[in-house]
Amino acid sequence: MYPLTSWVTWVITKKMKISVNIEHSIPLFTQLIEQIKKAVQDDEIGIGDPLPSIRQLANDLDINHKTVAKAYRLLERDGVIQTKGYRGTFIHQNAKENSIVDLNEWVLTELNKTLTSFRDAGITESEMRIAFNNLISKRQN
């Protein structure tokens, strides 16, 4: 029979790992986001589980701190993780549902709906483009 102590050791030492390929065409922050979302979906990390600090993860992966910070910022925006001040970063309570949502896909769908309604109203594509650009630059200012 497999010794109980070995099983206990396996459970204790079994840790969720994250890996990046520094030569891959997919940006590093996207690789981090995708893996964390997948880990949430596969129940490898659960609601409320703590994540390493930006410094720790960046140092362990030997990548720039800003890359990890960007990944965490986007994951927080998507409601997959939440930062609780000095206590650290944790998996959001709605992370499982939120990690399925593809924000880019949602933006495209919503834009498509709006463009269709504009076209139905007789607005030309160049008018839409000018209006859209004006709106973007106004918001940036």
Residues contributing to the site for other proteins (CB under 8 A): 13, 15-24, 36, 39, 45, 50-53, 55-57, 59-63, 88
Cβ atoms within 10 Å of 19's Cβ, excluding its own: 8
* Closer Cβ to other proteins, 22 or 121, answer by number: 22
* Closer Cβ to other proteins, 7 or 106, answer by number: 7
Distance of alpha carbon 55 from the chain centroid: 18
* Closer Cβ to other proteins, 13 or 126, answer by number: 13
Smallest separation (angstroms) from other proteins to the CB of 77: 19
Smallest separation (angstroms) from other proteins to the CB of 129: 41
Smallest separation (angstroms) from other proteins to the CB of 44: 8
Q: What is the largest CA-CA distance in the chain?
A: 76
Place of tokens 């409320």: 48
Residue 96, CA distances (Å) to 37, 52, 81 in order: 8, 19, 10
Distance of alpha carbon 137 from the chain centroid: 26
* Closer Cβ to other proteins, 59 or 112, answer by number: 59
